[in-house]
A = this chain, B = another copy of it.
Amino acid sequence: MFNPKTETQRIVSFIQNYFQEQKLGGVVIGISGGKDSAVVAALFAKAIGSDNIIGVTLPCHSKDEDREDAILISQKYEFPLINLDLTSVFDSLEEEAKKIEDFVESEDSSINAKPRLRMTALYYLAQMYSKKNQKTYIVAGTGNQCEEYVGYFTKGGDSVSDIKVLSDLTVEEVIKIGEELEVPPKVLYKTPSDGLSGKSDEDKLGVTYEDIAKVIQNQPVDEEIRNKIELLHKKTHHKFETPTYRKESVF
C-alpha cells in the first residue's frame, strides 16, 4: 500500500544521502508551473533547504500564465526563481536552419528543440552557480513513471538530468506526495500539458495517465487500451537504450 507520508520521508532521505555521498551543494530545477516540478521542488526544499535550490523558468514563445504558477511555487517553498528566456535562442536556431537550401518547416523539429534548449540552459546555469557559489549544483529531473513508461519525453531534452526522484511514482502517487507537501491545488490538480503544443498530455498520447498506471501495476484495463499503451512503451524503448554495436553481438 502506498503511504504518502512514508514515501515522502524516504525520497527526502534518498536525496540527502546522495548529496552527502557525492558532496553536492545545490540543485537547479526547471519550474514549469505544472505539478511534477512543483513536487520535486517541495521534496528538495525539505531535503536540502530552500537556500540550496535555484528555480528556473525557461519561456520559449510561451504563455505568461505558466510563469505566474512558477512564481507561486517559488514563493510557497521560498527559493529564488530566475528567468532565462529561450525565445531568441530558439529563433536563432530556426534562422540558421532556414539558411540551409533543403529547409522545410517541420513541427516535430521545432517542438522537440525546445526541451533540448531547456536542458542546455539548465546545465549552463548549474555550472554557472557551481562557480559562483563554490559548491556543486546538479540538475533535477522531473519525469514521472507514467510519462516514462510510454516514452512521453524528448530524448536529449527533459529526460536528461542528474537525479530522478519521481521516476518510480505514477501520476496519482505524485499527486499524493504533493498533497503531503501542501503543493498549491491550482498547480497540483492542473491538467498536465507540455506547454508547447497547446494540447493536454492525455490528448496527445490518446490514453489516460490512470490507464497507464493500471498497466504498470498490472491491474485490469480494456484490452484495446492496454495494447495501445504497450505499443507506445515498445515503440519508445530506443529512447532508453541506444542500439549499440558490440564485437560479440549476434544479429
A51 to chain B, nearest CB (A): 14
In the complex, besides A22-B238, A89-B96, 8 extra interface pairs with C-beta distance below 8 angstroms are: A82-B101, A86-B96, A89-B92, A102-B129, A104-B131, A109-B131, A141-B242, A164-B244
Contacts A113-B123, A116-B120 given: A160-B167 contact, CB under 8 Å? no
- Quote the shortest CB–CB distance from A84 to chain B (angstroms): 5
Taken residue by residue from 85 to 96, chain A's Cβ proximity to chain B (1 for < 8 Å, 0 otherwise) reads as 110110111011
| In contact, A97 and B109 (Cβ under 8 angstroms) | no
Indicate which residue in B84, B85, B156, B243 contacts A123 across the interface (CB closer than 8 Å).
B156
Any B CB within 8 A of the CB of A233: no
B96 near A82: Cβ-Cβ < 8 Å: no
How many copies of this chain sit in the oligomeric assembly? Answer: 2
A208 proximal to B (CB < 8 A): no
Contact with B along A1-15 (1 / 0, CB 8 A): 000000100110111
User: Of B88, B92, B102, B106, which contacts A127 at CB under 8 A?
Assistant: B106
* Distance from A105 Cβ to chain B, minimum over Cβ atoms (Å): 8
Bound CA–CA A125/B162 (angstroms): 27
Among B22, B108, B125, B168, which residue has its beta carbon within 8 angstroms of that of A247?
B168
Interface size class of A (residues with CB under 8 A): 35 or more
CB-CB contacts below 8 Å: A18-52 with B:
18, 22
A-B contacts, 6 listed (Cβ < 8 Å) = A82-B101, A88-B92, A100-B125, A116-B123, A156-B156, A168-B246
